[in-house]
Amino acid sequence: QTPSTELDETLKNKNVLIVYLSRTKNTKAVAEIIHKHTGGTLVELVLENPYPENYKAIVEQVANENATGFLPVLKTKIDSIEKYDFVFIGFPTWGMQLPPPMKSFLKQYDLDGKIIIPFNTHAGYGVGSGFETLKKICKKCKVLEGFSTKGGVERDGILFVMDGDKEKQVQTEKRSGCKELN
């Protein structure tokens, strides 16, 4: 057995929550890969008022929300968050930052004392300040090293990319990315 197979076995007996935000389903695909290995509860963040379909419109709205510190209202409700020991938190890079809905989640739910494993997809520019902001909001969490991989490039009309070889690559990257947990 490889260490990460053992890791997956260890996590299977813990209370694992996987929370993610995803628009074009790349982050969702990574969340599902993690879920397949660790089990637990998989939760997608959904908003009361969805973002516009149009790419330019969402980019503009997110820039405004970031500038004003606006926190969108979540439709998603998570029961008994206190029962989870490990929380995987996944999000796309938006404007080189943590997306506003993920800020809403982190501010709404008490994650103090939990072990957080962040993950991210982006269009080639990396996670930006996402992992740092997560750590700042969740000061009393134990935030492990994050895992980031290239996803879609919606600006160029490239939406979902997490299939075939890319999916296999992510599986491998996730394993090494989670080595700190071992």
Ligand X SMILES: Cc1cc2nc3c(=O)[nH]c(=O)nc-3n(C[C@H](O)[C@H](O)[C@H](O)COP(=O)(O)O)c2cc1C
Which residues are near ligand X by CB under 6 A?
A: 22-28, 58-59, 62, 92-96, 121-125, 151-154
Closest CB to ligand X among 93 and 104?
A: 93
161: buried, middle or exposed (CB in 10 Å: 19+, 13-18, 0-12)? buried
Closest CB to ligand X among 53 and 79?
A: 53
Q: How far is the CB of 113 from ligand X (least distance, A)?
A: 28
Structure tokens that stand for 19 in this block: 């929370």
Cβ contact 75:102 at 8 Å? no
Q: How far is the CB of 51 from ligand X (least distance, A)?
A: 8
Q: How far is the CB of 137 from ligand X (least distance, A)?
A: 19
Q: How far is the CB of 16 from ligand X (least distance, A)?
A: 20
Closest CB to ligand X among 62 and 143?
A: 62
Closest CB to ligand X among 7 and 130?
A: 130
DSSP letter (8 states) at residue 15: -
Residue whose beta carbon is closest to ligand X: 151
Q: How far is the CB of 125 from ligand X (least distance, A)?
A: 3
Q: Which helix (H) or strand (E) holds 39?
A: none
Cβ contact 73:49 at 8 Å? yes
Cβ contact 5:37 at 8 Å? no
Closest CB to ligand X among 135 and 166?
A: 166
Query: Got the DSSP string for 48-114?
Result: SSPPPSSHHHHHHHHHHHHHHT--PPB----S-GGG-SEEEEEEE-BTTB--HHHHHHHHHS--TT-
